[in-house]
Structure 1
């Protein structure tokens, strides 16, 4: 074992603390520096000095890069892809301990002095000495560290199977790192004649409820999509309210029907998607005045299992038509009581319909300039740009108002599931048997990882071309935001997620279980991959 640097529990703990110390909060300079530090770390293994082409940085966006490290056995074609992300969420919640957020050993010791500030479960875990606290310890730099250890073992022991370690930025925001990695993985496959056998992610085992101590592995990942709406009424003075219609009034009917609507709930294999909620609702007035707000927007979070973007837009439109009908009926009643004529009826329009209408009314060149001006705004993120694009068009087509414009805003995570795949069934049983035999530990399978992960961008299957509805109704599509659907569909191999047990991602009490991270999960991953080629050798 003397040649191994990342193998023993002590070595893995040290490596994790080093990697966590390279702060890499999404959209910061630390995230941009991280892949270069990781590249230097991987170069400590002579294999990558001898094969420099196997270790590469690839551009994602905004000066960020993803890293790929290939272990290529001279006679193997079958390949396991090890997927992780290295960005983390922010650390403001640590307060005066923020300076220790990326130093797990120091933070854990300091939290012991302040344990009364933590919830009861976190206190118990802290006092047990069985957890290491810190931002990124569980989500998900331990997953990356496990993959570094795995590829080191494969190199040293010359495993007769290929491994591709790929670790990406931006998973916590838009997954632009993984979306860029898809094309890289297709290129690597073609360049080195690889045959992808398994996409193995290392996201942590998440608790299903407070106090949950079970260890889970995942044979798929839940999908997420964000239907959004622009509400456009008619402006008026507050002294003459019925001469107009506020956008907030229209929006209230839609949000009332979207929040917790069971129409969007899916169930599969005994698991269900969380109900939809609104993630944002606001009017677009930039300053206070006595003019009523006549433009407003809202974002809604919808999880998916088997549905496509087309399915969700159809359901969203169904809800919007009901909301518009209720709004119109309520408004007519108010106008009748006041003895005035209504200004009109709220209509429901898809973004693609608005876009075509605007191109005919104005001209395609003018519309393109309007949209490009929106997309060039450095103050707005992808979601704001999507909403503002619809707003710019409808401002110039007020004859369509009052109206709800339906669209999609980024990001979009397709659901992926490999529960029925024979290799996955065999692999899960192997992990369960090994965990019980070696550690006396029970492993449970979950069919959909419920924390969202980068596995959404591999093994894409959609016979109905349901993604075209997403392309047509996402204003930022093709300029600010894209998804490589074609390349994703080329990466046809089953998915599995095996990672360390931890608790409280994105909280001050984020922590990883020491034994799970440094002893149990490394062995489970090693057994899993060795079985892939051992089974073949016995045929």
Structure 2
């Protein structure tokens, strides 16, 4: 009989259910408490009782922490970094079952009593008995449980390769945890003289289309960036509409051109980015009045594979210039029809240009005051703060109006891909061969489509394209930053191999039990053992 705690399907499921029961929704008290609970759990392993300094809590931001658990092999400096996140999204969609959202076995039983209310695919999966439902089962506490089991087994069996478990908060919002962890990864590598050979995430395998049951291994992760725009028109009373121009009118032209724009589509290794869409569009009036809305804002989601932030901003400006031209043409026709002079033509400028203009006009101290005032508002997140800083600057530079101000809003996930790395090629083949032993076919995808923290560990930018992000993100350096210089030092290849599941972020989020408890543990172990066998041959 094994003396390991988490090396059987039953014990792994029990561990998963315990981790899920620790409610850790992003930006809640549970998320703040989770790392302390996890540290206590891992401290029960013999290895960490003997090496307590290898199990550590680290500051992610002012209120949250991340965990590192380091198994050090004295046979080799080669190290695999195991990356996961422990926060989950909210649970309102569970309705009257919300109290069971973090108790997978109880929730799965309760769903049987109301299975007729579920979508057909979810109902069939429930009736099959092959799935466990619950918030965080798929995304991604099973991945964390698998990494804990790897650390336990490696330390007990003294594997000749080091493993560094890193699990972080906030992946679901801004990835504050992973952005903080990057600096710690650089520090730990120096302290222990490690050689990082692979960054291995275990985010779940996502369906590529509804109804499919394919399992995937990912050799990269898609990038995401959020171009945003502040639209500043000219206010007037609704009874005198022609004396002004609404921001909504201006915004309509840009959103029409940005939504599903093929200009932003990228393709690489036979895969394509989803088309851009608007994530938010609103006017900035705090309350209703008969003053026309002369300030508005929009956020647009853009996925990336090869492009840098600078290249995306150049494209965004190109589209905005076209939108302004269309808007001005339409507005001129209106002015001719109504025989009015109008308020002037809409201009396009980047946030960095607005900032420079405002600094020359009012001074740096004035700008710092605006930023402090906006950042003091605890109700606004980084996206809202970015828009409001630009808004306040335009209020004090109204002579630039009407205008479209282009900026970036957090978060930014650089794309990463290491499909052509020899270690990745060999590892993918090893995983496929292991999966076949269970009658499972694993397919390779070059860009993980779920967005993940691997974006921050294998950054490459020879042209400093990230500077466009720094210069055009109003909250940069205050409430949001990305450690680009540290990321450039972490150049090991990346892989994502996790359990199969369905419907992340939905009421029907569920985990395929055999995949999670049988196939994936075997695939992960074979991947790592094949690495140290390969290293032993080359060494």
Q: TM-score, normalised by structure 2?
A: 0.99
Q: CA deviation at 1:63?
A: 1.3
2:244 is the alignment partner of 1:247? no
Q: Distance in 2 between matches of 1:282 and 1:62?
A: 30
Q: CA deviation at 1:368?
A: 1.1
Task: Please name the residue that 1:375 is paired with.
Answer: 375
Task: Please name the residue that 1:76 is paired with.
Answer: 76
Segments of 5+ residues of structure 1 without an aligned counterpart are none
Q: Distance in 2 between matches of 1:287 and 1:168?
A: 38
Task: Please name the residue that 1:509 is paired with.
Answer: 508
2:493 is the alignment partner of 1:473? no
Q: CA deviation at 1:372?
A: 1.5
Task: Please name the residue that 2:454 is paired with.
Answer: 455
SS of 1:439's equivalent?
Answer: coil
Task: Please name the residue that 1:256 is paired with.
Answer: 256
Q: CA deviation at 1:113?
A: 1.0
Aligned residue pairs total 538
Q: Distance in 2 between matches of 1:366 and 1:102?
A: 48
Task: Please name the residue that 1:7 is paired with.
Answer: 7
2:481 is the alignment partner of 1:482? yes
Q: Distance in 2 between matches of 1:151 and 1:367?
A: 49
- RMSD of equivalent CA atoms: 0.7
SS of 2:372's equivalent?
Answer: helix
Deviations 1:413-462 (A, max 9, x none): 000000111110110011111111x2111100000000100000001000
SS of 2:488's equivalent?
Answer: helix
Task: Please name the residue that 1:496 is paired with.
Answer: 495
Deviations 1:332-358 (A, max 9, x none): 000001111121000001000000000
The question of whether the paired residues in 1 share the 8 Å contact of 2:237 and 2:291 is answered with yes
Q: Distance in 1 between matches of 2:261 and 2:458?
A: 29
Q: CA deviation at 1:538?
A: 2.5
Task: Please name the residue that 1:522 is paired with.
Answer: 521
Q: Distance in 2 between matches of 1:119 and 1:413?
A: 32
Q: Distance in 1 between matches of 2:364 and 2:536?
A: 61
Q: CA deviation at 1:75?
A: 2.3
SS of 1:538's equivalent?
Answer: helix
2:366 is the alignment partner of 1:366? yes
1:152-167 matches, cutoff 5 A: 152-167=152-167
SS of 2:406's equivalent?
Answer: strand
1:407-426 matches, cutoff 5 A: 407-426=407-426
Q: Distance in 2 between matches of 1:535 and 1:290?
A: 72
1:278-317 matches, cutoff 5 A: 278-317=278-317
SS of 1:490's equivalent?
Answer: coil
2:30 is the alignment partner of 1:34? no
SS of 2:164's equivalent?
Answer: strand
Deviations 1:453-506 (A, max 9, x none): 000000100001000000000000000100000001111100000000000000
Segments of 5+ residues of structure 2 without an aligned counterpart are none
SS of 1:306's equivalent?
Answer: coil
SS of 2:520's equivalent?
Answer: helix
The question of whether the paired residues in 1 share the 8 Å contact of 2:47 and 2:156 is answered with no
SS of 1:82's equivalent?
Answer: strand
Task: Please name the residue that 2:90 is paired with.
Answer: 90
Q: Distance in 2 between matches of 1:146 and 1:289?
A: 56
1:15-26 matches, cutoff 5 A: 15-26=15-26
SS of 1:471's equivalent?
Answer: helix
Q: CA deviation at 1:46?
A: 1.4
SS of 1:506's equivalent?
Answer: coil
Q: Distance in 2 between matches of 1:270 and 1:348?
A: 35
2:114 is the alignment partner of 1:114? yes
Q: Distance in 2 between matches of 1:166 and 1:535?
A: 24
Task: Please name the residue that 2:100 is paired with.
Answer: 100
Task: Please name the residue that 1:198 is paired with.
Answer: 198
Q: CA deviation at 1:373?
A: 1.1
Task: Please name the residue that 1:221 is paired with.
Answer: 221
Q: Distance in 2 between matches of 1:127 and 1:66?
A: 37
Deviations 1:228-261 (A, max 9, x none): 0000000111121111100000000010100000
Q: TM-score, normalised by structure 1?
A: 0.99
1:439-450 matches, cutoff 5 A: 439-450=438-449
Q: Distance in 2 between matches of 1:358 and 1:49?
A: 58
Q: Distance in 1 between matches of 2:62 and 2:125?
A: 39
2:352 is the alignment partner of 1:352? yes
Q: Distance in 1 between matches of 2:536 and 2:46?
A: 28
Q: CA deviation at 1:509?
A: 0.6
Q: Distance in 2 between matches of 1:238 and 1:29?
A: 46
Task: Please name the residue that 2:429 is paired with.
Answer: 429
Q: CA deviation at 1:62?
A: 3.6
2:255 is the alignment partner of 1:272? no
1:393-404 matches, cutoff 5 A: 393-404=393-404
2:134 is the alignment partner of 1:131? no
User: After the TM superposition, which segments of 4 or more aligned residues of structure 1 sit over 3 Å from their partners?
Assistant: none
- Greater CA drift, 351-360 or 43-52: 43-52
1:38-53 matches, cutoff 5 A: 38-53=38-53
Q: Distance in 1 between matches of 2:129 and 2:37?
A: 30
SS of 2:384's equivalent?
Answer: helix
Q: Distance in 2 between matches of 1:460 and 1:186?
A: 14
Q: Distance in 2 between matches of 1:441 and 1:343?
A: 65
Q: CA deviation at 1:291?
A: 1.1
2:534 is the alignment partner of 1:535? yes
Q: Distance in 2 between matches of 1:242 and 1:14?
A: 67
Q: Distance in 1 between matches of 2:371 and 2:3?
A: 57
The question of whether the paired residues in 1 share the 8 Å contact of 2:230 and 2:297 is answered with yes
Q: Distance in 2 between matches of 1:502 and 1:223?
A: 22
